[in-house]
Chains A and B, each alone.
Chain A
Amino acid sequence: MTGQKQSEAIGELPSGKPQTDALTPVVVTRLTWALFVASLGAVGARTLGWWTTLPTAGPFAIDGLTLLLWVVVTFFAGIVDSYSRRYMAGTHGVGRFFVRTLGFTLIVMLLAAADHALLFAAAWLAMGLVMADLIGHVRGWPQAQSAARFARRYFLGSSALLGVAIAVLWWVTGATTVSGFAAAAGSLPVTAVFVVSAALVLGAMIQSALLPFHGWLLASMTAPTPASALMHAGFVNAGGILLLRFSPVITAEPAVMLAIVLLGALSALGGKLLKSVQTDVKRRLGCSTVGQMGFMIMQAGLGFFGAAITHLILHGCYKAYKFLSAGSRINRTSPNPDSDHGSLGVVGVAVTLLSAVAGGAVFVALTGKGSGPDSGVLLLLIVVLTTLHATRTALAQTALSAPVRIGAVPFVFLPAIALYGAIYRTVETVLRDVPAVTAPAELTVGHAAVAVAFLLAYLAIETGAYRRSRRLYTALLNATRPPSATLLTATEDYNEY
Chain B
Amino acid sequence: MSTETAIRDSIDQAKRAIGRTWPLHSFVTANPLAGFEDRPFHEAVREGERLYGGRGYPSASVFRRAWEQGRINPDRLRAALARHGYDADADEADPEALLDRMASETEASDAGPDDDADRTPTPSDQVDAVLTKWLSAFLDEGAAKWPMPDRSNGFYRAFRAAARYDRQIPDREAIAGLPDDPIDALADRLADRPRDRWASAFEHHLSALPGWTGLIRRRAEDGGVWQSACPITLPGYLAVRLTLADLFGAQIVPDGAEADVGSTPGNADAAGDVPLAEVWLNAWEATYRERLVDEVAARSPRVDERREDAGDDADDGSRPDAQMVFCIDTRSEVIRRHVESAGNYETHGYAGFFGIPMRYEGRGSAVGTDACPPIVDVAHRIEDRPRADREHRHERHARWTNLLEAGERVLEGLKSNAATAFSFVETAGSGYGAALAARTLLPGRVHTAIDAVEGRTPSAHEFCGPTLDHDDTDEGEIPRGMTFEERVEYAANAFELMGWEEFARLVVFTGHASETANNPFGSSLDCGACAGNPGGPNARVLAAICNEGRVRAELADRGIEIPDDTVFLAGEHNTTTDEVTLYAGDVSESHESDVERLRADLASATADAAAERAASMDAPSDDAERETKRRAADWAETRPEWGLAGNAGFVVGPRALTADLDLDGRSFLHSYDWRTDPEGDALEAILTGPMVVTQWINAQYYFATVDTAVYGSGSKVTHNPVGNVGVYQGNGGDLLGGLPLQSVMRSDDDPYHQPLRLSTVVHAPVDRVADVLSAHEHLTDLLDNDWLSLTVVDPTRDHDAFRYDEGLAWTGLDAPEPSIEEARESQVSAPVADD
Map CB proximity to A onto B398-414 as digits: 1 under 8 Å, 0 otherwise.
00001101100110011
A283 within 8 A of B: yes
Q: Which of B52, B53, B369, B746 contacts A332 (CB 8 A)?
A: B369
Q: Of the 9-residue stretches A5-13, A50-58, A253-261, A428-436, which lies at the interface with chain B?
A: A5-13
B507 within 8 A of A: no
Chain A's nearest CB lies how many Å from the CB of B370? 11
| 7 pairs of A and B residues whose beta carbons are closest in the complex | A314-B429, A142-B117, A90-B747, A317-B433, A492-B53, A272-B418, A9-B664
In the bound complex, what is the Cα–Cα distance between A334 and B125 (angstroms)?
A: 33
Chain B's nearest CB lies how many Å from the CB of A460? 8
B515 within 8 A of A: no
Chain B's nearest CB lies how many Å from the CB of A409? 11
Assess A268 versus B425: contact at CB under 8 Å? Given A86-B637, A477-B137: no
A295 within 8 A of B: yes
In the bound complex, do residue A324 and residue B732 qualify as a contact, i.e. CB atoms below 8 Å apart? Answer: no
Q: Which residue of A lies closest to B24 (CB)?
A: A330
30 cross-chain CB contacts under 8 A? A18-B618, A19-B747, A19-B750, A88-B717, A144-B730, A147-B731, A221-B720, A269-B418, A276-B144, A276-B145, A277-B144, A280-B723, A326-B518, A326-B720, A333-B141, A335-B226, A385-B423, A386-B420, A393-B414, A423-B430, A457-B417, A474-B163, A475-B165, A484-B125, A485-B118, A488-B729, A491-B211, A492-B710, A497-B745, A497-B749
Complex contacts, B295 vs chain A, CB 8 Å = 10
- Which of the listed residues B420, B424, B645, B646 has the most CB atoms from chain A within 10 Å of its own CB? B420
B166 within 8 A of A: yes
Chain A interface (Cβ within 8 Å of chain B)?
Answer: 1-3, 5-20, 79, 82-92, 138, 141-147, 149, 218-225, 268-269, 272-273, 275-284, 288, 291-292, 295, 310-311, 313-318, 320-321, 324-337, 340, 382-383, 385-386, 389-390, 393-394, 397, 399-400, 404-405, 408, 413, 416-417, 419-420, 423, 454-455, 457-458, 461-462, 467, 470-471, 473-478, 481-482, 484-497
In the bound complex, do residue B718 and residue A336 qualify as a contact, i.e. CB atoms below 8 Å apart? Answer: no
In the bound complex, do residue B432 and residue A317 qualify as a contact, i.e. CB atoms below 8 Å apart? Answer: yes
Q: Which of B126-163 contact A (CB under 8 A)?
A: 126, 128-129, 132-133, 136-137, 140-146, 148-150, 161-163
Assess A324 versus B163: contact at CB under 8 Å? Given A223-B718, A224-B718, A454-B419: no
Complex contacts, B666 vs chain A, CB 8 Å = 9-11, 13
In the bound complex, do residue B723 and residue A282 qualify as a contact, i.e. CB atoms below 8 Å apart? Answer: no
Complex contacts, B719 vs chain A, CB 8 Å = 225, 326-327
In the bound complex, do residue A385 and residue B52 qualify as a contact, i.e. CB atoms below 8 Å apart? Answer: no
Complex contacts, B125 vs chain A, CB 8 Å = 484, 489
In the bound complex, do residue A314 and residue B435 qualify as a contact, i.e. CB atoms below 8 Å apart? Answer: no
In the bound complex, do residue A87 and residue B422 qualify as a contact, i.e. CB atoms below 8 Å apart? Answer: no
In the bound complex, do residue B117 and residue A9 qualify as a contact, i.e. CB atoms below 8 Å apart? Answer: no
Assess A20 versus B823: contact at CB under 8 Å? Given A277-B144, A310-B426, A491-B710: no
Assess A83 versus B636: contact at CB under 8 Å? Given A1-B290, A314-B429: yes
Complex contacts, A88 vs chain B, CB 8 Å = 717
- Which of the listed residues A89, A149, A337, A457 has the most CB atoms from chain B within 10 Å of its own CB? A89
Chain B's nearest CB lies how many Å from the CB of A401? 9
Chain A's nearest CB lies how many Å from the CB of B302? 14
Complex contacts, A284 vs chain B, CB 8 Å = 143
In the bound complex, do residue A491 and residue B437 qualify as a contact, i.e. CB atoms below 8 Å apart? Answer: no
In the bound complex, what is the Cα–Cα distance between A78 and B117 (angstroms)?
A: 34
Number of interface residues of B (CB under 8 A): 159
B634 within 8 A of A: yes
Chain B's nearest CB lies how many Å from the CB of A10? 5
In the bound complex, do residue A321 and residue B432 qualify as a contact, i.e. CB atoms below 8 Å apart? Answer: yes
A-B contact count (CB 8 A): 461
In the bound complex, do residue A470 and residue B26 qualify as a contact, i.e. CB atoms below 8 Å apart? Answer: no
**From DSSP, what is the main secondary structure of chain B's interface residues?**
mixed
Q: Which of B166-209 contact A (CB under 8 A)?
A: 166-168, 208-209
Q: Which residue of B lies closest to A310 (CB)?
A: B426
Beyond the given A86-B637, A490-B733, A496-B748, could you list 17 further A-B residue pairs with CB under 8 A, ordered by the A residue number?
A: A1-B291, A10-B664, A13-B754, A142-B117, A221-B728, A222-B718, A276-B416, A324-B440, A332-B724, A333-B141, A385-B419, A386-B419, A473-B146, A473-B162, A477-B166, A484-B126, A495-B709
Q: Which residue of B lies closest to A495 (CB)?
A: B709
B294 within 8 A of A: yes
Complex contacts, A397 vs chain B, CB 8 Å = 402, 406, 409-410
In the bound complex, do residue A10 and residue B723 qualify as a contact, i.e. CB atoms below 8 Å apart? Answer: no
B517 within 8 A of A: yes
In the bound complex, what is the Cα–Cα distance between A224 and B719 (angstroms)?
A: 8
In the bound complex, do residue A13 and residue B724 qualify as a contact, i.e. CB atoms below 8 Å apart? Answer: no
In the bound complex, do residue B662 and residue A7 qualify as a contact, i.e. CB atoms below 8 Å apart? Answer: yes
Q: Which of B208-250 contact A (CB under 8 A)?
A: 208-211, 225-226, 228-230
In the bound complex, do residue B117 and residue A485 qualify as a contact, i.e. CB atoms below 8 Å apart? Answer: yes
In the bound complex, what is the Cα–Cα distance between A280 and B26 (angstroms)?
A: 18
**From DSSP, what is the main secondary structure of chain A's interface residues?**
helix
Chain A's nearest CB lies how many Å from the CB of B371? 13
B820 within 8 A of A: yes
In the bound complex, do residue A149 and residue B715 qualify as a contact, i.e. CB atoms below 8 Å apart? Answer: no
B784 within 8 A of A: no
Chain A's nearest CB lies how many Å from the CB of B109? 12
In the bound complex, what is the Cα–Cα distance between A372 and B732 (angstroms)?
A: 48
Chain A's nearest CB lies how many Å from the CB of B76? 10
Q: Which of A19, A277, A324 contacts B636 (CB 8 A)?
A: A324
In the bound complex, do residue A91 and residue B747 qualify as a contact, i.e. CB atoms below 8 Å apart? Answer: yes
Q: Which of A12, A79, A390, A400 contacts B414 (CB 8 A)?
A: A390
B615 within 8 A of A: yes
In the bound complex, do residue A279 and residue B413 qualify as a contact, i.e. CB atoms below 8 Å apart? Answer: no
Q: Which residue of A lies closest to B134 (CB)?
A: A477
B259 within 8 A of A: no
Q: Which of B165, B639, B710 contacts A474 (CB 8 A)?
A: B165
Q: Which residue of B lies closest to A233 (CB)?
A: B436
Complex contacts, B369 vs chain A, CB 8 Å = 332
Assess A386 versus B635: contact at CB under 8 Å? Given A399-B406, A487-B129, A494-B729: no
Complex contacts, A405 vs chain B, CB 8 Å = 406
B449 within 8 A of A: no
In the bound complex, do residue B440 and residue A82 qualify as a contact, i.e. CB atoms below 8 Å apart? Answer: yes
In the bound complex, what is the Cα–Cα distance between A143 and B748 (angstroms)?
A: 19
In the bound complex, do residue B425 and residue A292 qualify as a contact, i.e. CB atoms below 8 Å apart? Answer: yes
In the bound complex, what is the Cα–Cα distance between A400 and B407 (angstroms)?
A: 10
B551 within 8 A of A: no
In the bound complex, do residue A321 and residue B426 qualify as a contact, i.e. CB atoms below 8 Å apart? Answer: no
Map CB proximity to A onto B19-31 as digits: 1 under 8 Å, 0 otherwise.
0000111100000
Chain B's nearest CB lies how many Å from the CB of A283? 7
Complex contacts, A224 vs chain B, CB 8 Å = 717-718
Q: Which of B410, B417, B710, B723 contacts A458 (CB 8 A)?
A: B417
In the bound complex, do residue A494 and residue B432 qualify as a contact, i.e. CB atoms below 8 Å apart? Answer: no
In the bound complex, do residue B409 and residue A221 qualify as a contact, i.e. CB atoms below 8 Å apart? Answer: no
In the bound complex, what is the Cα–Cα distance between A482 and B733 (angstroms)?
A: 10
Chain A's nearest CB lies how many Å from the CB of B435? 6
In the bound complex, do residue B162 and residue A474 qualify as a contact, i.e. CB atoms below 8 Å apart? Answer: yes
Complex contacts, B167 vs chain A, CB 8 Å = 474-475, 478
In the bound complex, do residue B616 and residue A491 qualify as a contact, i.e. CB atoms below 8 Å apart? Answer: no
Complex contacts, B137 vs chain A, CB 8 Å = 277, 279, 477
- Which of the listed residues B225, B365, B718 has the most CB atoms from chain A within 10 Å of its own CB? B718
B661 within 8 A of A: yes
Chain A's nearest CB lies how many Å from the CB of B321? 24
In the bound complex, do residue B722 and residue A281 qualify as a contact, i.e. CB atoms below 8 Å apart? Answer: yes
In the bound complex, what is the Cα–Cα distance between A91 and B295 (angstroms)?
A: 38
In the bound complex, what is the Cα–Cα distance between A219 and B730 (angstroms)?
A: 8
In the bound complex, do residue B417 and residue A461 qualify as a contact, i.e. CB atoms below 8 Å apart? Answer: yes
Chain B's nearest CB lies how many Å from the CB of A158? 21
In the bound complex, do residue B730 and residue A143 qualify as a contact, i.e. CB atoms below 8 Å apart? Answer: yes
Assess A400 versus B661: contact at CB under 8 Å? Given A138-B718, A280-B732, A324-B436: no
Q: Which of B24, B437, B717 contacts A79 (CB 8 A)?
A: B437
In the bound complex, do residue A493 and residue B114 qualify as a contact, i.e. CB atoms below 8 Å apart? Answer: yes
In the bound complex, do residue B636 and residue A86 qualify as a contact, i.e. CB atoms below 8 Å apart? Answer: yes
